[in-house]
Amino acid sequence: MSSILNVLQCVDEPAWMKSPVETQEKILEDIVHRNRNTRFGREYLFREIRSTEDYRKCVPLSMYCDIEPYVQRMVYGEKDALVMEQATAWIESVRLDRKSRLIPYTQDMAGGFRDAYLRLFASRTEDWAYVSGKVIAGLEHPIHMVGGNPAGDILALGSSTLRSTPVLGKVITPRLTESDADWEKRWKKAAQQVSRQNVISAIVDPVLFLKFLRMIQSNSGVADIRQLWPDFSLVMTTVNTRPFENVLQSLLGHVEFRRLFCTDEVVVAVQLDEKGVVPLLDHCYLEFIPLKQWRDMELEGGTYREYGFDIETIDTAVSGEEYVLVVTTSGLYRYISGDIVTMVDSLHMEPTGFIDEWAVLPELAQQIVLLREVARDTSRTEHQLVAVESEPMRFLFKI
């Protein structure tokens, strides 16, 4: 059996990275064909779409306010309003106004999450068998019910997906329920479940993971986590880990960090190396609006559905330029979540911000509260640097 670090160094470039244009054309054709009989597909003439040009002509750019009526129809029981495939759950995200955004979590969405994780190690999922040890996932808040289906963030839903993936068979998740409302009670239960396991990887929010590690130390009486998990070597998360890497490495030793890049909690790219994130070209179709043109539209008082953007694709986007990301997957069609990316090269991009900078405040506020708890629970000075390693944190902590 191999360690995660050894496997990470041996991954070959998969087919979906070698033929990006063909892969993108194929996935768009597949998405349109599978959803041609949905309410959305009928209204926007999916049956008449034969090319990417047809797709742009028939389907307007959308934001959440445009798809929300279709989502609500699904919540109230209309199964084919937005996607033909049955939604098994709801991906839930919360923005500045504190209102939930719900996106149908289908098998296709689940497959994107699963493949993003497995592709860290190999282009073929069966190669996972050569990795020893177990993975911890699902530390997030308990899932609740919406319209008869579970709803939660992508890490909570994704942990269930990984647990039911036969080729893995090594995923352990704390068995927490919605009735476990007391934070400390839930974390103690989780710590008891995993503190004696051979954990080699975690798919987690880094702030929650820091707090969880403190709970394990308290629960087990072992100050050095490396004594419990000597082979731990990988943290995967959906946020930028740089502000947290020093403190995590001080607790866990040499650890690799990888990111799942999500738009409104939908996985669209995975970090395979240090160059940036690599789009899941065989799961979602991507378009890119030049950021300058978006800002021009705002200054001119235009609307995104009517403005004449010069939209780029994966093969025409220019390295070094910033773009507003547009995503198409089953259930999201030419969808603008607000993410801005910079193209690094023909296969890598780097998330750099949002068209509405204030949209990140709720997430940041939650991290500040938890960071203060981590700092308060820590006696070693170097651990406290987690709260001040980025300029936003320096500003907010007045340091």
Residue 392 lies in a domain: no
Three-state SS letters, 138-176: CCCCCCEEECCEEEECHHHHHHHHHHCCCCCCCEECCCC
Spatial contact of 176 and 186, defined as CB atoms under 8 Å apart = yes
Cα–Cα dist 331/326, whole Å:
13
Domain of residue 66: give its range: 4-279
Residue 174 lies in a domain: yes
> How does DSSP assign 228-245, residue by residue?
H-TT--EEEESS--GGGH
Token couple for 156: 């909570």
Residue 393 lies in a domain: no
Residue 307 lies in a domain: no
Residue 344 lies in a domain: no
Residue 316 lies in a domain: no
Residue 41 lies in a domain: yes
CATH number at residue 147: 3.40.50.980
- Strand bridging mode 199-203 / 234-237: parallel
Q: How many domains does the chain have?
A: 1
Phi-psi group of 313: left, alpha or beta (phi > 0 → left; psi -120 to 50 → alpha; rest → beta): beta
Dihedral angle over CA of 28, 336, 370, 244, nearest 10 = 60
DSSP-derived letter for residue 13 is: P
Q: For the chain, 399 residues long, give each residue's pLDDT as a single digit of tens.
A: 344 444 444 444 566 677 899 999 999 999 999 999 999 999 999 999 999 999 999 999 999 999 999 999 999 999 899 999 999 999 998 765 567 899 999 999 998 998 888 777 654 444 444 456 677 777 766 678 888 898 988 988 888 888 777 655 566 665 555 454 566 676 677 777 777 778 888 888 888 888 888 888 887 788 888 888 888 888 888 888 888 888 899 899 888 898 999 999 999 999 988 899 999 999 999 999 999 999 999 999 999 999 999 999 999 999 999 999 999 999 999 999 999 999 999 889 999 999 986 444 444 444 544 454 444 444 443 333 333 334 334 333 333
Residue 364 lies in a domain: no
